[in-house]
Amino acid sequence: MNIVEVKNKKQKKDFIMFPFRLYKNDPLWVPLLIRDMKKIIEGTGSLLFQSGPHTFLLAYEGKEVVGRLAVGIDEKLNKLRNKKEGYITLFECVNDKKIAFSLLDTAISWLKDKGMKYVSGFVSPTNGDDFRGMLVENFEDPPLIYTTYNPPYYVDFFENYGFKRDHVFLAFKYNLKSLPLDDAIKAIEYAKKKFGFITRPADYSKVEREAKALQYIIERAEIPLEYDYLIPPTQEEMLSLAKELKNFIPPNFVQLAWVKDEPVGFAVAIPDYNQVLKKLMGRLFPLGFLKFLWYKRKINRARVFLSFVLPEYQSKGIPAALFVELLKYARSLGYEFAEGSTININNVKMCKEAEGAGGIPYKKFAIYGKDI
């Protein structure tokens, strides 16, 4: 078994294509588009890889790839949080502890050489939920768009190596067929009158204004939570993300809450494009685009993947109001299932709001950490 740094096109291709062989017989795995993974690896599709030194590792047995991971340093995060921390991401490995430990040894040695004292993983190369954390509970239900999926033996690898769970996240499921939304709507209308807030869908004709409102909310809602794995996006980053996502997300799936002229919360859902990506097997062309258009019409699941509310308004029914608006719209489209994810388990208020809207916790994810 040999571990090498990715240096050439052949190795880059091996890194990208390894999961297709690893998960070949796993009916739940959903591949990212190959072209999107190429952008991530090359850095143009990754805010993380633009934020400091990094490298990609491959484990070979003979000519066959048996494991991979990326390791690096987010200098922007370290400067903001006054840390000496490295990260690992994009880990995949066959069920062999020796190979997994060798990859981790090599990554940690790389970080030590650069003066790092701690390693965290998995972090997301896109700064989203995709690839963030490891699935640690419920390997039976299919993953929704932008959520992590991995074999259960990864948990044993990391915990046996000495990693501990720094952050645990919950996913909540909603049966839209049986969800008593009418009762929730009545309660929310009462809360709106009592606390003086309104909710409305995003106006895509004024995307710059809307992106500015979202960034304002994130910056003020996120920092007080002291989640050391997150950095609020700049206005430029938020605008870029908004312009990209509006091509895939209906405006009614972006709900904002306002008190007078101040934006105080928002929540975003997305159709579960995993139901389409599953059919494409990583390729959009030559026939994948036609498949995309065909299977897009058959989507019947949605994922609520962003929800931020200013701390002083979190106990006034606003999170639930935003959530219910999204679920109501999803049900109007004929969707049968929705997931709300991921919510830090320590964010007790948001977890209660998710359950109050009818959600049932059904998956857990974790970001691991280790002193080095």
pLDDT at 289 over 70: no
Domain membership flag for residue 196 = yes
Pair (107, 182) in one structural domain: no
pLDDT of residue 227 exceeding 80: no
Residue 343 lies in a domain: yes
Average pLDDT over residues 102-123: 97
- Read off the tokens for 308: 């931020």
Q: Are residues 332 and 263 in the same domain?
A: yes
Backbone angles phi, psi at 114, to 5 degrees: -105, 15
Given 74, 99, 132, the domain boundary residue is: 132
Residue 250, in any domain of the structure: yes
Of 101, 132, 163, the last residue of a domain is: 132
**153 part of a folded domain:** no
Q: Considering only 31-35, 73-77, 267-271, 285-289, which range has the smallest mean pLDDT? A: 285-289
Residues 187 and 89 occupy one common structural domain = no
Predicted structure pTM score:
0.90
Range of the domain at 111: 2-132
pLDDT digits (tens, 9 = 90+) for 32-85: 999 999 999 998 888 889 999 999 999 999 999 999 999 999 998 899 889 999
Confidence (pLDDT) at 290 = 66
pLDDT band of 322, cuts 50, 70, 90: very high
d(CA 203, CA 209): 9
Please report the pLDDT score of residue 186 as a whole number.
Answer: 86
Q: Are both 70 and 198 inside the same structural domain?
A: no
Q: Is 109 in the same domain as 177? A: no
**At which of 116, 132, 148 does a domain end?**
132
Domain assignment present for 239: yes
Q: What is the pLDDT of residue 216?
A: 93
pLDDT of residue 228: 62
Q: How many helices (H) and strands (E) does the chain have?
A: 12, 13
* Co-location of 192 and 324 in the same domain: yes
338's CB contacts (< 8 A; 6+ apart) are 173, 174, 176, 269, 301, 302, 303, 304, 326, 327, 330
Does one domain contain both 196 and 316? yes
The CATH number covering residue 250 comes to: 3.40.630.30
Closest CA to 121 of 49, 71, 47, 68: 71
The answer to whether 341 and 149 have CB atoms below 8 angstroms apart is no
42 domain residue, yes or no: yes
Percentage above 70 pLDDT, the chain: 95
pLDDT at 296 over 90: no
| Residue pointed to by tokens 């509310």 | 309
Taking the C-alpha atoms of residue 254 and residue 5, their distance in angstroms, rounded to an integer, is: 41
Q: How many domains are there within the chain?
A: 2
**Residues 229 and 108 occupy one common structural domain:** no
Inform me whether the pLDDT recorded for 315 exceeds 80. yes
The DSSP line for 300-359 is -EEEEEEEEE-GGGTTTTHHHHHHHHHHHHHHHTT--EEEEEEEETT-HHHHHHHHHTT-
With a cut of 60, say whether residue 14 has pLDDT above it: yes
Give the three-state DSSP class for 165.
strand
Per-residue pLDDT at 11: 97
Does 184 lie in the same domain as 123? no
Q: How confident is the model at residue 303 (pLDDT cuts 50, 70, 90)?
A: very high
Q: How confident is the model at residue 284 (pLDDT cuts 50, 70, 90)?
A: confident
Do both 112 and 179 map to the same domain?
Answer: no
Q: Distance between alpha carbon 188 and the CA centroid of its chain, in Å?
A: 28
Q: Sign (positive/negative) of CA torsion 192, 197, 198, 202?
A: negative
pLDDT band, residue 310 (cuts 50/70/90): very high
At 186-206, the pLDDT tens digits run: 888 899 999 999 999 999 999
| Mean of pLDDT over the chain | 91
Residue 18 lies in a domain: yes
| Residue 206 and residue 323 in one domain | yes
Query: How far separated are the first and last CA of the chain, in Å rounded?
Result: 24
H/E stretch holding 257:
strand 254-259
Which pair of structure tokens corresponds to residue 285? 């062309």
Alpha helices in the chain (DSSP H): 9-22, 34-42, 75-81, 97-113, 153-161, 181-195, 207-222, 235-245, 274-280, 288-296, 318-332, 348-356
Structural domain includes residue 140: no
123 and 179 belong to one structural domain: no
